[in-house]
A and B are shown apart, each in its own frame.
Chain A
Amino acid sequence: MILVIAEQRDGRLNRATWETLAAAQMLAGGMPITIVVLGAAPGNVAQELAAAGVGEVLVATNRALDPYTPDAYVMALGGLIRSVLPTYVLLPHTYQARDFAPMLAARLNKPLVTDVTAVTGTGTGATFTRLMFQGKLVAQVRPTGEPPWFVTFQIGAFRADAVRKGPAASITKTDVTIDPTLIRQKPEPPVQAVKQAVDLSQAERIVAVGRGIKSEENIPIAKKLAEAMGAELAASRPICDNGWLPMERQVGSSGQTVAPKLYVALGISGAIQHLVGMKGARTIVAINKDAEAPIFEVADYGIVGDLFEIVPAMIVELEKEK
């Protein structure tokens, strides 16, 4: 059996859970899939997940699960896993999973494969792919020893819309035991971090603009492309320095470092200060008038031309796809 640990906060499901479900279905090879939802009052998340073509949805409630603490989660899930004995325990590689999954696996003395980007094979013979050394090496990992085996999946590595829906699964409520005196963390109410409103480092797709955009009035062109692509808008230093975009959207040595799957650089020459902030992107597309611009040295796809002609054409094509 595969146990997928859903992630919810305040009754809202983290969409990365669907990606993990997609991975679970690929991995299953006939194994039944069970989803577990934890929380003090997880709301309608269970009903939402029941449509996912799984065998069962477990709702594990306990007042001590809210607010989230790693100790409470480890106690609740530790007990549950010992009783249902899954082969795999799958989680999305979210901040929360990163927080408690290692402790949970260690508590049960079981292997944990983290940040997996692909699965080959099914069932107990499956092999997991993960990147090492900041993406410079690719490792193929197969867990050994007695199951359960823990696996977390990289955000964006599987498509949420690939989940095969099915007839509504049964929803079972189950109480989990947590000794509140053993919870060592005492969370304060969440606070907004110093107004870094956009976390570009988490973006899957980024459209970045540079000086080639010429004036503030042209920013909407890039914005429209970003919207059509479902991408975040970012910029090189001069754009933010002029105040055309807020500083938190600056990529480069004095801004954020990003590693999206797709980075589209519009009119960015590719000064080294910018390159160090984005060269970790998996695919780089550069549009620039100057064929000699250093951005083309790192680009996977380059278009030498006028972004004011190319970008509108791209938007038209993208809209057709919708």
Chain B
Amino acid sequence: MTRESLDVDVLIVGGGPAGLSAALRLAQLQKEKGGERLSIAVLEKAREAGAHILSGAILDLSTLRDLIPDYADKGAPFAAEVHHDAVYFFTQTSKLSFPIIPPPLRNHGNAIISLNALVRWLSAQVEAEGIDLFSGFAAQDILMDGSRVIGVRTGDRGIGKRGEQKPNFEAGVDIRAKVTIFCDGVRGNLTKELLRRLQLGKDRAPEVFALGIKELWDVPADRMAAGTVFHTMGYPLRQEEFGGGFVYAMPEGRLSVGFVVGLDYKDPLFDPHMAFNRFKQHPFMQTLLEGGQMVRYGAKALPEGGWNAVPQPYMDGGLIAGDAGGFVNALRLKGIHLAMRTGMLAAETAFDAIRAGDTSASSLKRYQDRIDASPVRAELYPVRNVHQAFSYGLFAGMAFAGVSLFTRGWWVKDLQAHPGHERMEKLQSHPTSIPPPRNATTIDRRLTFDKVTNVHFSGTAHDEDQPPHLQVHTEVCSSICGDEYGHPCLRFCPANVYEIVHEADGTPRLQINASNCVHCKTCDIIDPYQVITWVPPEGGGGPQYNGM
């Protein structure tokens, strides 16, 4: 088979905030320092920049100010400036306001944004620098020479359901680079593979994740002033679940309504999407959304492991930046500015290393030094134990979060964490009392939606005639999973990808509706047997987020 190849100096895998900031920073360094022009390529699996990205989102402007000081003149798309903050504690029927807003949740001066719009704008800045942005191309495999990363291979196109080549078959391309910067996002398929092959997570805390589910709503324009932001804790979650809801108000009655749940819950019957529906059914939310219309839907996992879970972010020929490396402040619910910052630092490191002619791990280790000297460590280190503390329950977590801030993170001993999937309990061992989140809730297709209807509003589309990009290497679905966990995939997936159908003899069989997948990575993270592997589908397939 003939396979085309392409050689570049720097290859950036993933056109999100980290990857695009890295590309832009490289172009800036090129201009500042002159010399032979570096060739740079950015790979993005979405058909157009920003279409697969999803966030709340509130942007801390600090990194953007450093990267593009004249961002306002260049038309950075902000929906509104935050001018009103609130934090509520929900019970089933009422809400309590926090008398003071905990400092990490104060957002005055930050901007409410659509991350799709911001990324699209960033990609235009990158393309204006003459950098090649290959959208619609998914990086499928890492190319390695021993322990050295030498590039990636993009996915083949035109492979049929049963693995056969279709008439439009096109082999993937090998892209070789002196430095590859992995910005493949939360639970990136290549970063996951790097961590495994090069043991980059050794001696670090296990990664911890959460799942964010979000809808955009159009409500009457006078319902809530643009720039209003609130976060909720409590109902419908129990003490044992970590997470909460949010509403960010944008102009013209557009609301970003979301719910985040730690992907380390114990109850195998817990359903994050149902919790989101229950959140919307809270009387306060019902009043807010009354008469409005849901216009978009999406879901995405987010890293919450914090500083101690960040893997070694450098290796021979490679660097890891952004969500792929877990650079998120879970307490502030913010990571975009850290993704951008680590992207910039990775670019600076790669640039120096290529100029010096040494792109080995010992040269690229400067990336770690740069991070340690940057606002990234300053922000993440003090709160390094916070998500872990919440594993002891909501109130313990809140108390701990308070103490952390007070002591600037000093603590006798770092808290132990467990990978989220290990915390899920079997049906028999989880208490059988049935608190609210376990009951089915009503779906009225006005306020609450079933997953299939929601998926439609994510714009998700894949070529149906391709191998499933969710690889499940197991028979447990037919054998023990039903008894042990009651098929949790039916509940943890927010897009109805997994279905259990029963054969004529009653044997359960897993049916994978891969074309529903919104690329949130939840299944890859939380499946208790760790048998689901998310790989990229044919390039371009996936959600079509817009305004999210």
Measuring CB to CB, which residues of chain A are less than 8 angstroms from any residue of chain B?
194, 215, 237-238, 240-241, 247, 250, 253-255, 271-273, 276, 294
Closest to A215 in B: B504
Inter-chain CA distance A41–B462, complex, in Å, is 47
- Given contacts A194-B167, A241-B513, A294-B445, are A254 and B453 in contact (CB under 8 A)? no
Residues on A with beta carbons closer than 8 Å to the beta carbon of B465 = 247
- Interface contact A253-B464, CB-CB below 8 Å: no
Closest to B456 in A: A272
Residues on B with beta carbons closer than 8 Å to the beta carbon of A194 = 167
Inter-chain CA distance A255–B465, complex, in Å, is 11
Residues on B with beta carbons closer than 8 Å to the beta carbon of A255 = 464
Residues on A with beta carbons closer than 8 Å to the beta carbon of B359 = none
Q: Which B444-469 residues have a C-beta within 8 angstroms of A?
A: 445, 452-453, 455-456, 461-462, 464-465
Smallest CB separation, A250 vs chain B (Å): 7
- Interface contact B456-A254, CB-CB below 8 Å: no
Residues on B with beta carbons closer than 8 Å to the beta carbon of A215 = 504
B522 contacts partner chain A, Cβ-Cβ < 8 Å: no
Residue from the list B167, B456, B511 in contact with A253, Cβ < 8 A: B456
B515 contacts partner chain A, Cβ-Cβ < 8 Å: yes
Residue from the list A250, A254, A273, A276 in contact with B452, Cβ < 8 A: A273
Inter-chain CA distance A276–B453, complex, in Å, is 11
Residue from the list A241, A272, A276, A294 in contact with B464, Cβ < 8 A: A241
Residues on B with beta carbons closer than 8 Å to the beta carbon of A272 = 452-453, 456
- Interface contact B453-A271, CB-CB below 8 Å: yes
Residues of chain B at interface, number, CB under 8 A: 14
Residues on B with beta carbons closer than 8 Å to the beta carbon of A250 = 464
Residues on A with beta carbons closer than 8 Å to the beta carbon of B456 = 253, 271-273, 276
Residues on A with beta carbons closer than 8 Å to the beta carbon of B464 = 237, 240-241, 247, 250, 254-255
Closest to B464 in A: A254
Inter-chain CA distance A123–B465, complex, in Å, is 53
Inter-chain CA distance A253–B516, complex, in Å, is 11
Residues on A with beta carbons closer than 8 Å to the beta carbon of B461 = 253-254
Measuring CB to CB, which residues of chain B are less than 8 angstroms from any residue of chain A?
167, 445, 452-453, 455-456, 461-462, 464-465, 504, 511, 513, 515
Residue from the list B167, B445, B504, B515 in contact with A254, Cβ < 8 A: B515
- Interface contact B452-A271, CB-CB below 8 Å: yes
Which 3 pairs of residues, A with B, have the shortest CB-CB distance? A272-B456, A271-B452, A272-B453
Inter-chain CA distance A194–B160, complex, in Å, is 14
Inter-chain CA distance A247–B464, complex, in Å, is 8
Residues on A with beta carbons closer than 8 Å to the beta carbon of B515 = 237, 254
Smallest CB separation, A54 vs chain B (Å): 46
Closest to A243 in B: B161
Smallest CB separation, B418 vs chain A (Å): 37
Closest to A276 in B: B456
Closest to B504 in A: A215
- Interface contact A254-B513, CB-CB below 8 Å: no
Inter-chain CA distance A48–B243, complex, in Å, is 76
Closest to A292 in B: B443
Closest to B515 in A: A254
20 A–B contacts, CB within 8 A, in A order? A194-B167, A215-B504, A237-B513, A238-B513, A240-B464, A241-B464, A241-B511, A250-B464, A253-B456, A253-B461, A254-B461, A254-B462, A254-B515, A271-B452, A271-B453, A271-B456, A272-B453, A273-B452, A273-B455, A294-B445
A271-B452, A276-B456 known; 10 new pairs, CB 8 Å cut-off, are: A237-B513, A240-B464, A247-B464, A247-B465, A250-B464, A254-B461, A271-B456, A272-B452, A273-B455, A294-B445
Residues on B with beta carbons closer than 8 Å to the beta carbon of A254 = 461-462, 464, 515
Inter-chain CA distance A67–B174, complex, in Å, is 46
Inter-chain CA distance A273–B458, complex, in Å, is 11
Closest to B514 in A: A241
Inter-chain CA distance A255–B515, complex, in Å, is 12
Smallest CB separation, B294 vs chain A (Å): 12
Residues on A with beta carbons closer than 8 Å to the beta carbon of B452 = 271-273
Residues on A with beta carbons closer than 8 Å to the beta carbon of B167 = 194
Inter-chain CA distance A194–B158, complex, in Å, is 13
Inter-chain CA distance A263–B176, complex, in Å, is 53
Closest to B462 in A: A254
Residues on A with beta carbons closer than 8 Å to the beta carbon of B513 = 237-238, 241
Residues on A with beta carbons closer than 8 Å to the beta carbon of B511 = 241
Inter-chain CA distance A271–B465, complex, in Å, is 20
Smallest CB separation, B455 vs chain A (Å): 8
Closest to A255 in B: B464
Inter-chain CA distance A266–B445, complex, in Å, is 23
Residues on A with beta carbons closer than 8 Å to the beta carbon of B504 = 215
Residues on A with beta carbons closer than 8 Å to the beta carbon of B462 = 254
Closest to A195 in B: B167
Closest to B162 in A: A243
Inter-chain CA distance A4–B531, complex, in Å, is 67
Residues on B with beta carbons closer than 8 Å to the beta carbon of A247 = 464-465
Inter-chain CA distance A240–B504, complex, in Å, is 19
Inter-chain CA distance A194–B167, complex, in Å, is 9
Inter-chain CA distance A203–B485, complex, in Å, is 47
Smallest CB separation, B22 vs chain A (Å): 35
Smallest CB separation, A19 vs chain B (Å): 35
Inter-chain CA distance A271–B462, complex, in Å, is 17
Inter-chain CA distance A271–B464, complex, in Å, is 17
Inter-chain CA distance A215–B456, complex, in Å, is 26
